[in-house]
């Protein structure tokens, strides 16, 4: 499993693209097929995907096999029209599956129609919206997957993605719930939102909560993302100290950083 941190920023960070991950791994019963998924695609993530040197040129040309949308806040899904239009321009022909919560198909198409009113009728590939339900296993681009609600203000689904070589938990926004903790158990990597240093921001997680949850879930590594821009700039050293003191490997990823599990 190879995870590229396309973006690591929060909604309104002017220097860091919205949090988005590009995951490549082996899928299928025999683990013989390489598949790719883009996790979240907010306002600035689409452009960051195509500019990311850690993503192979062929993957940037053809795009991911599927997209996962944790929830429908703009910094997590309103980069999709940009991504879709660019892939159309580049000649993509195979369908693009977009997985997410209730209403994902209608929301994605409405955003596309608003951004580019005449594009859908001439789009070179089909957009397939697939709804995920909490607690129900499903297939995501050939990977086994399950989702559970997080503690965000809007309905947000944390995702467990199973590859042949390692499992990933991606929480989207919000502190981890008890069901999310079960979902993340034993993962190679947990990627958790940490808006502040300590708990206290309604609907959002923190560095201290992320460390506590990752340790409790016995994950092998933790990455904290979506840190409030002022906190990351002014308290970055404090964040790194907190992560260094964790009992597991924990880090604050930079854009383009790569995590690999084997």
Per-residue model confidence (pLDDT) at position 29: 66
% of the chain at pLDDT higher than 70: 99
Terminal C-alpha separation, the chain: 7
pLDDT in tens, 98-154: 999 999 999 999 999 999 999 999 999 999 999 999 999 999 999 999 999 999 999
Distance, in Å, from the CA atom of 180 to the CA atom of 170, rounded to the nearest integer, reads 10
CATH assignment at residue 44: 3.60.15.10
Range 241-247 average pLDDT: 97
Is residue 230 packed enough to be buried (19+ CB in 10 Å), middle (13-18) or exposed (0-12)? exposed
Helix or strand or coil: residue 157?
A: strand
Other CB atoms within 10 A of residue 129 CB: 17
pLDDT band at residue 30, thresholds of 50, 70 and 90?
A: low
**Average pLDDT of every residue of the chain:** 96
pLDDT in tens, 212-243: 999 999 999 999 999 999 999 999 999 999 99
Domain interval for residue 46? 2-260
Q: Which of 32-36, 136-140, 207-211, 215-219 has the lowest mean pLDDT?
A: 32-36
Alpha carbon of 250 to those of 9, 85, 143, 210, 240: distances in Å? 17, 36, 25, 10, 9
Contacts of 217 (CB under 8 A, 6+ apart): 169, 176, 181, 184, 185, 186, 187, 190
- Tell me if 69 sits within 8 A of 103, measured CB to CB: no
Per-residue model confidence (pLDDT) at position 31: 62
Per-residue model confidence (pLDDT) at position 200: 87
pLDDT in tens, 53-65: 999 999 999 999 9
Query: Would you state the structure tokens that stand for residue 1, as one six-digit string?
Result: 């499993």
- Tell me if 88 sits within 8 A of 116, measured CB to CB: no
Distance, in Å, from the CA atom of 147 to the CA atom of 161, rounded to the nearest integer, reads 9
Its sign, for the CA torsion 248, 182, 178, 75, is positive
Tally the domains of the chain.
1
């Amino acid at each position: 499993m190879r995870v590229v941190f396309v973006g690591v920023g929060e909604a309104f960070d002017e220097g860091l693209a919205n949090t988005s991950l590009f995951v490549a791994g082996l899928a299928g019963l025999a683990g013989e097929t390489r598949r790719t998924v883009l996790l979240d695609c907010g306002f600035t993530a689409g452009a960051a995907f195509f500019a990311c040197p850690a993503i192979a040129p062929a993957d940037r040309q053809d795009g991911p096999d599927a997209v996962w949308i944790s929830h429908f806040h703009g910094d997590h899904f309103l980069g999709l029209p940009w991504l879709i239009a660019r892939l159309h321009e580049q000649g993509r022909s195979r369908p693009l599956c977009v997985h997410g919560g209730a209403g994902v198909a209608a929301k994605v198409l409405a955003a596309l129609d608003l951004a580019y009113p005449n594009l859908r009728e001439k789009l070179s590939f089909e957009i397939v919206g697939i709804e995920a339900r909490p607690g129900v296993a499903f297939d995501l681009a050939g990977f086994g997957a399950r989702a559970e609600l997080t503690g965000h203000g809007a309905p947000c689904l944390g995702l467990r993605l199973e590859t042949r070589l390692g499992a990933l938990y991606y929480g989207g926004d919000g502190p981890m719930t008890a069901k999310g903790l079960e979902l993340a158990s034993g993962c190679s990597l947990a990627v958790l939102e940490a808006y502040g240093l300590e708990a206290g921001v309604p609907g959002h997680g923190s560095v201290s909560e992320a460390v506590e949850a990752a340790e409790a879930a016995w994950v092998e590594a933790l990455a904290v993302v979506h840190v409030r821009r002022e906190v990351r700039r002014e308290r970055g050293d404090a964040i790194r100290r907190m992560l260094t003191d964790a009992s597991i490997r924990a880090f604050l990823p930079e854009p383009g950083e790569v995590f690999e599990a084997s």
